[in-house]
Amino acid sequence: MSTVYEQLGGEAAINAAVDVFYRKVLADKYVVRFFEGVDMTRQAGKQKAFLTMVTGGPNNYSGKDMREGHRHLVAMGLDDSHFDHILCHLRSTLAELGVPQNLIDTVISVAESTRDDVLDR
């Protein structure tokens, strides 16, 4: 059984999705404050890690766990409403790239499973 990562088209597809997702997130006034002062190059890597993680790609992720990696953002007011925006951008990115609905639903449910960790509760 191949992973969603493979079904999407692997690294090339993830790179394409990163560009689109990244633009959407940074264009969203409701969440952009959390990304201010975050290094751009590192951010692209972060977005790639994000999409690879939620699609079951190769597990070479060596960053912080989700709780630790977002705790400072919770201190800045990160809550469910921001999380919902990010999921919305993820969903529309995948839809724009022509990803089938069932795969989108799978990716969203994996992303959804990180909600309590990201929001530190």
Q: How far is the CB of 24 from ligand HEM (least distance, A)?
A: 12
- Minimum CB distance to ligand HEM smaller for 13 or for 70: 70
CA distance 101 to 107: 10
Residues making contact with ligand HEM (CB under 6 A): 31, 34-35, 38, 46, 49-50, 53-54, 63-64, 66, 69-70, 73, 78, 82-83, 86, 111, 114, 118
CB nearer to ligand HEM: give 16 or 110: 110
From CA 23, how far away is CA 115, in angstroms rounded? 22
**Nearest-approach distance from CB 1 to ligand HEM, in angstroms:** 22
* Cβ 25 vs Cβ 82: under 8 Å: no
Q: How far apart are CA 119 and CA 68, in angstroms?
A: 10
Nearest approach in angstroms of CB 37 to ligand HEM is 8
Does residue 69 contact residue 43 with C-beta atoms inside 8 Å?
Answer: no
| Binding annotation for heme | 70
